[in-house]
Chain A
Amino acid sequence: MGTENKSITVQMRGITKQFPGVLANDGIDLDVHSHEILALLGENGAGKTTLMNILAGLYQPDAGQISLKGKEVEFQSPKDAISHGIGMVHQHFMLVESLTVTENIILSLQSSGINIHANQVKKRVLELSKQYHLMVDPDAAIWQLSVGEQQRVEIMRLLYRGAEILILDEPTAVLTPEEAADLAKILRKMTEEGKAVILITHKLNEVTSFSDRVTVLRAGHVVSNLLTKDTSKKELARLMVGRDILFHLEKKKCKKGDSVLKLEHIHTTNDKGLPALVDVNLQICTGEILGVAGVAGNGQRELAEVITGLRDITSGKISVNGKDISNSSPFEVIHAGISHVPGDRIGVGLAANLPVSDNLVMKAYRKPPILQGQLVKKKNILQFTKNLIEVFEIKTPSAETPARLLSGGNQQRLILAREITASQGMLIAVYPSRGLDVGATESVRSTLLEQRDKGSAILLISEDLEEITQLSDRIIVLYEGKIMGTVDPESTSLETIGMMMAGQPPANITKTGKEKKTT
């Protein structure tokens, strides 16, 4: 691995960046070595992305210096940064869908006036593909590529422009386990060539399986610099959160009862009018968590929407406790006792500018004691709100604070508090811990388990396999709107679920898929 010629290429000293009301970075020192993958670990809001946006020229720091190979530099724009060899792959890709890979790379070259020979670009793309095992077809249009391939195009684009230091923001969030393993290989290859890679992440697995070194950030400060081989997940989690974290949630044996929710031969279309769910059949019983795994965009959102009345089905039957609720309004579904923790917390789950109290009563305001005749009783709202804030440990300055000022974890606790209180035995939870830090994730997950133990039937839709396997009593895998199969989390490997997520029916997966295991 060439440890002998590792050298510091980037030195960030005393980087400070203030946003309104938040000190995102407070005097951060960071060293980046060539030949090395550095993981930048921290909870949401720890300042990782801000720090890297500064390095990539997107933001300018309020104070502090950056030096590159010993020379002080200042970047006014991402263009400055890339001309110094620093490039970033953002969480949301910035590619033109209708153009080909080659065309997208030409676009990023910005050499206006000079004739670019597409064939030369293509040749170089192929060379780079070979050199770094970045398998991409230069003539394919972006929309034809999988998310993993698009990510490779983004990496290719930076390599083409001579990037020596690559920053990747949460790169595995959108990948299947297979694709993530491929990415690890690509990154390894790049460090062998002498490049430096920085990985922004809050996933401990990613740190241990990808990186050589890890820098832990907490609340805008560097907490620790460690060699990955010298540390453990447990230590990293403690450093990141500032306290010990339960890794294995206490999960009692499931006491499965009567069937609550039943979906029979459900078909529906997505916003573009294309089939989103194809002949979906499922059933959830009391005291059971049914996990829905799948790569984002394979019908999960539509599944949640047809059950909660936000989307019509084109055929099939949905029933809850024997009552047909196919194509009911959201109001009727709520009335039938189904609660919903939506995937889009801010966009759908909250009215973020309204106070916490208004957000907490979004379901309860229709019933006494809050509703008296046509009036909502302020006093009873306050009492209801105070009670929920206490029971669900929502950290808020007051009941009158706008919900947008709460942290992501507390916003989710608010939604959970409201939905669990309104639920009559059935809960749909979509990406319940997405974007939450380790501490908040733990709390959300144990809340869900607690509800299960109290007899709730829970449909858990998540893109986090660890979450699905940890919580679910049964798992179904969605691929292109179809259920690929139902598996038991205890006896099924992550690899098998990963293969199903990528479209392999369980029968085709050989039990000896162990050679796929990397890290």
Chain B
Amino acid sequence: MRIQFEKRTDQSRLSGFLIPLISFFLALVFCAVILIIFGINPIQAYSVMVKGALGSTYSLTETLVKAVPLMLTGLGVSIAFQMHFWNIGAEGQLAMGGIAAAYVALFLKDVIPSSLLLPVMFLAGALIGAFWALIPAMLKAAIGVNEILTTLMMNYIAILLVEYLYLGPWRDPKGYGFPGTAQFVEAAWLPRLTGRVHYGIIFAVLGAVMLWFILKYTKFGYEIRLIGENPKAARYTGINITKNILVVMLLSGGLSGIAGMAEVSGISHRLYTGLAVGYGYTAIIVAWLASLNPWSILFVAFFMGALLVGGDQLQIAMQTPAAVADILQGAILFFMLGGSIFHTYRIKIIHKKTIVHGESEHE
């Protein structure tokens, strides 16, 4: 008997829906075993997580708060992934966007009229995030440097720069040694809709609309798709690949920069340690789980937000080690991504006849 993987010739809608569901269920079963090993009742743990993430208005808004930066960075990396440009630098682009917004809020608040402060912060975040993404794009376009390495390394620079700024020159002198900048003036606070949910969610939805429109209806979107599918064909048909890489990375970095701006201006109202906490990396998973579809990214980001909030609740309510929440998140992603194989492939089991090869000659 042999087992073979065969590519599916047709991908049904039903399997596209059922497979993630079954994968999710299997992940829960798998995690239940781990929880039992830790001496935790899995049913109780799951109900704590669900309640903590979705059970009340408060928990729902907290989930949204976590989902917003995931939405924006997820959209950002997805457009680069569309043309097979592997931008894994969303974390750094987010951090730079945060720095730019903080600079405007802290140091230009007296120069800029207060009604213009937020728009300028928004623009600064988007531009600096875009600039941060442009560097690896130019290196790739000019001399072919691998963008996976450069975008990743640019993250470390940006993350360390944030730390240097709030621990060093930008530290609040009246902060009693607390690490972080001074609080922004209120004109620099992004308005909130409900709970801690701020205007960032509107940016995210608008971002999704924009990407969907670009990909579906514009010449630029068509060129991105063609480059992603077959760069040789794109070159043959006269498309300027260099120009497209630069423009796409400006967009990609800009979206992540906006995420950083929204975080400092909508949540923390200062630059401090809570900015670069891994949204930009989770964004990669969000984009792939959503198959790079802008609308799906919004939903997957919400789901990931729920996982984050639920994990925190689990830690608080049941005194579980912090690692347990991470294990749960990891296992769920592992199963979901692993399950997606069955969407594109099917398993074929071949029963062989029982002739032993070579033996037939001696019979």
A interface residue numbers (CB < 8 A to B): 20-21, 60, 62, 71-76, 80, 83, 308, 310, 329-335, 340, 342, 344, 347-354, 358, 361-363, 365-366, 371, 374-376, 378
Contact = CB atoms under 8 A, between A and B. Distances in A.
Contacts of B219: 365-366, 371, 374-376
Identify the 4 closest CB pairs spanning chains A and B, nearest first: A331-B238, A351-B229, A21-B9, A351-B230
Contacts of B232: 344, 347-348
**Contact residues on B (Cβ < 8 Å of other chain), bracket:** 20 to 34
Contacts of A344: 232
Nearest to A22: B9
B240 interface: yes
Nearest to B221: A376
B221 to A, nearest CB: 8
Contact of A80 (B218, B230, B357): B357
Q: Which of B225, B232, B235, B236 has the most CB of A within 10 A?
A: B236
Contacts of A376: 217-219, 221-222
Contacts of A74: 353, 355, 357, 360
B220 interface: yes
B217 A362 contact: no
Given A72-B355, A310-B236, A351 B8 contact: no
A334 B238 contact: yes
Nearest to A335: B238
B226 interface: yes
A83 B359 CA distance: 13
A73 B233 contact: no
Nearest to A57: B357
Interface string B165-199: 00000000000000000000000000000000000
Given A73-B361, A349-B236, A362 B226 contact: yes
Nearest to A308: B236
Contacts of A21: 9
B6 interface: yes
A479 to B, nearest CB: 27
A62 B57 CA distance: 59
Contact of A375 (B218, B234, B240, B352): B218
A72 B361 CA distance: 8
A362 B232 CA distance: 13
27 contacts: A20-B9, A21-B9, A73-B361, A74-B355, A74-B357, A80-B358, A83-B358, A308-B236, A330-B236, A331-B239, A342-B236, A347-B230, A348-B232, A348-B236, A351-B225, A351-B229, A351-B234, A353-B229, A358-B225, A363-B237, A371-B219, A374-B219, A375-B219, A376-B217, A376-B218, A376-B221, A378-B217
A376 B226 CA distance: 14
A380 to B, nearest CB: 12
Nearest to B217: A375
Given A73-B360, A365-B222, A351 B235 contact: no
Interface string B326-363: 00000000000000000000000010110101101101
Contacts of A348: 230, 232-233, 236
Given A72-B355, A74-B355, A330 B230 contact: no
Interface string B198-232: 00000000000000000001111110011001101
Nearest to A405: B9
A335 B222 CA distance: 19
Interface in B1-56: 6-9
A362 B229 contact: no
A214 to B, nearest CB: 30
A80 B222 CA distance: 50
Nearest to A422: B237
B233 A75 contact: no
